[in-house]
Structure 1
Amino acid sequence: MLKETAQATSQPVAVTAAPLRVGIVGSGFMGAVHARAAHAAGAALVGVSASSLASAARARDALGAERAFSSVDDLLDAGVDVLHVCAPNHVHFDLARAAVQAGVHVVCEKPLTTDVRDAEQLTREAAQQGVVGTVPFVYRFHPMVREMRARVDRGETGRIALASGSYLQDWLSNSSDTNWRVDPKLGGASRTFADIGSHWFDLLEFILGDRVARLSAQFATQFAAREDRSADTMVVTEDTVTVQFTTAGGVLGSFAASQVARGRKNRLAIELSGDAHSFAFDQENPESLWRGDELGGRTLVRDPKTLAPDAARLCIVPAGHPQGYQECFNAFVADTYAAIRGEHREGLPTFRDGLRSVQLVEAVVGSARTGGDWARGLTQEQAA
């Protein structure tokens, strides 16, 4: 489906790739984020499909797509190179697999699937088909996260003894607040951890270059019932989660996440405490990185002139001109499209990373259901 053109000549000429033809499944908030990133990367947004043709038509106009489709099959038949899956969690596997089997590259919202076996199968089939599959763990694309990773890799922390942090939101703080994610039939067995805790643990393992080996988790549900579109239903997924863990390299850690933390809009905070330096990143203040030692703390700012190459690469505006979430998403999609064209992009989260996240979600759910029993053996590679 990728087309290349070049004029016949006796001299070598540059080969120009035609814009990727992109389709999006899903008409909600994430569909719009993906669409903006696809446009920014120079792709042609061929079409969008949604729960109904009417919804798809509205999304077509809002997202700047060429056509509306009543089904993902029709969208795939239109000849897309990449399918962005932005639908509810329970259909990720079927939609992504349909694209993979059609030889179409996939960007699938997390969780990749709601079951480890499905994630294994999808990862395996994508490799067999030779298609690129990525999952938007986009906080990796904050330049100061890459700077933190580079400094850890250079050994600036010394020996890391503790990893700590949280991911706090308040968008479900009232019993009247609801969303399809509350329903486990649509969102899966975990809500808060799968939805936001998965991002934190992806960052942890990405920055450390180390994996969680064992963990103990606890869930709490603040509201036993929430208003539903049809009727009040008992809430069985967690509003709050805490996790204790140990990495394969011996780092001890603690983590808390909540979607009922009043006043916190999207606060992902991660801190690594080393015997030489400590580093901390706060997603609500993404233009800086905190570095601490026995003399106190210092704030490092995003300045491409002073950052590690992998961090500087992601700086699209000069220091002092803020970058944020959409810029992270744009960089992730641009790197995905570069990978489709055969280029290497450091730190691109693939289906394997999506599979790893599903493995951790399953371990957290299993531990919480037993009152915090330790889940072990989490460094083992999953079949793919």
Structure 2
Amino acid sequence: MGAALRSGIIGTGFIGEVHAHAVRAAGGTVSAVAGRTTASAERAAPALGALHAAASPEALIERDDIDVVHICTPNATHAQYTKLAIAAGKAVVCEKPLATSVEDAAELADLARRHRSVAAVPFVYRFYPAVREARDLARRGDAGRLWLLHGSYLQDWLASPQATNWRVDPARGGASRAFADIGVHWCDLMEFVTGQRITRLVASTSQAFPERSGEGGPSPVTTEDGASVLFETDQGAAGSVVVSQVTPGRKNRLWFSFDGTEASLSFDQEQPDTLWLGRTAAATRVAVGPDTLTTQAGRRYARLPAGHPHGYQDSFNAFVADVYDAVRGGAPDGLPTFADGLRAAQLTQALIDSAQGGGWVSVPAYDKVSTII
């Protein structure tokens, strides 16, 4: 492989464009794009900056001018395309959820290990400089013992009975919607920052709109609009998270507060230019910038001066840059792999089991083996 990695993007929607921008920012080339049809790929190619439109996802995976396959399709198709890409010897970036079942996610994680593949899942909130700063402060012990871990992830893009897309259909999106789509982001971030693992949880799910309008008129909804989760960790902490895709006015508010015996660490994705650091004597909003953050990891991802917010696309760019570093033989710290995708699938299944059974459910131990060899 040359210095400029060549990528293929399967999927022509919003997230495909985000991937394409990140590929170019990392110095890569979008060699080809594939959609549901050849015509959809041809329409999307100019917007994604792709050199070619592939006839199908399978045809894209088999191309010789592609080193990394980015899978940005409906959830139920992730497993089949990922298997083909790994078998073809490609590095893979698969959108979350990695798969719609624990069994498929475990198979993909094992497949990536056996093929020694670079295989990553875009848990991109790890790549905010404020988050890296919080992680290093927690590791350093600045907050003391973290004992209360709480927060929320709230959106409003489905806050209407007329708002719908493929994610509402469990056949395409999976049995869980709000938690599998955004709740796993929060859980990944909590475990990444604190180093603690959820060992058991109890959950309830609810629907703001039991019916949604589709092409055939109103139809029943079987996936959740929101969820509330209580959990315990392997280090004795208690926690909670509220997830919603129907909270008016909240566009993409991922918020956490990780409370320790010495300090609390809080981050709000809708206000990403500060990290809130609370102590009994005073609370401080630490500005995000290479000259204002105090830890090496925080400064590494702070590419802009303080006062110039680092946003979602910047974090996605940093994630893809680290993936491509791994493809070239590097070992970037904190890269989310298929092991983390499997972890998300296990947490999602625990939520489903708890919501259906009404009690506490144990979560399997985290598989710490990276899929990057």
Runs (5+) with no aligned partner, structure 1: 4-16
Contact 1:303 1:318 in 2 (8 A): yes
Please give the residue correspondences for 1:113-124 in structure 2 after superposition, counting only pairs within 5 Å: 113-124=99-110
Partner of 1:104: 90
1:233: Cα distance to partner? 1.9
The alignment partner of 1:24 has SS state of strand
| Structure 1 vs Structure 2 CA RMSD | 1.3
Supply the distance in 1 between the matched residues of 2:147 and 2:47 (Cα, whole angstroms).
48
The 10-residue stretch of structure 1 (112-121 or 296-305) with the greater mean CA deviation from structure 2 = 296-305
Partner of 2:300: 313
1:150: Cα distance to partner? 0.6
Supply the distance in 2 between the matched residues of 1:353 and 1:30 (Cα, whole angstroms).
20
Partner of 1:281: 267
Partner of 1:202: 188
Match of 2:229 among 243, 262, 266: 243
Match for 1:40: what amino acid? A
Runs (5+) with no aligned partner, structure 2: none
Q: Deviations over 1:265-320 (max 9, x none)?
A: 10000001111111100000111011111123111111212421111111112122
Contact 1:198 1:361 in 2 (8 A): yes
Supply the distance in 2 between the matched residues of 1:78 and 1:143 (Cα, whole angstroms).
36
Supply the distance in 2 between the matched residues of 1:352 and 1:379 (Cα, whole angstroms).
11
Q: Deviations over 1:54-109 (max 9, x none)?
A: 11101111111011112122112221110000000000000111000111110000
Go from structure 1 to structure 2 and tell me whether the alpha carbon gap of 1:270 and 1:93 turns closer, same or farther (over 3 Å shift): same
Contact 2:350 2:363 in 1 (8 A): no
Q: Deviations over 1:99-134 (max 9, x none)?
A: 001111100000000111111111111111121000
Please give the residue correspondences for 1:35-46 in structure 2 after superposition, counting only pairs within 5 Å: 35-46=20-31
Supply the distance in 1 between the matched residues of 2:315 and 2:74 (Cα, whole angstroms).
22
Q: Deviations over 1:162-185 (max 9, x none)?
A: 011000011111101111100000
Partner of 2:12: 27
Identity of aligned residues (%): 48
Contact 1:120 1:382 in 2 (8 A): no
Go from structure 1 to structure 2 and tell me whether the alpha carbon gap of 1:380 and 1:22 turns closer, same or farther (over 3 Å shift): closer
Partner of 1:75: 60
1:377: Cα distance to partner? 4.3
Match for 1:179: what amino acid? N
TM-score w.r.t. the length of structure 2 is 0.96
Supply the distance in 1 between the matched residues of 2:253 and 2:7 (Cα, whole angstroms).
31
The count of corresponding residues between Structure 1 and Structure 2 is 368
Go from structure 1 to structure 2 and tell me whether the alpha carbon gap of 1:343 and 1:128 turns closer, same or farther (over 3 Å shift): same
1:190 aligns to 2:176 (yes or no):
yes
Contact 2:8 2:33 in 1 (8 A): yes
Supply the distance in 2 between the matched residues of 1:227 and 1:150 (Cα, whole angstroms).
46
Partner of 2:39: 54
Match for 1:55: what amino acid? S
Match for 2:337: what amino acid? T
Supply the distance in 1 between the matched residues of 2:366 and 2:287 (Cα, whole angstroms).
37
Partner of 1:12: none
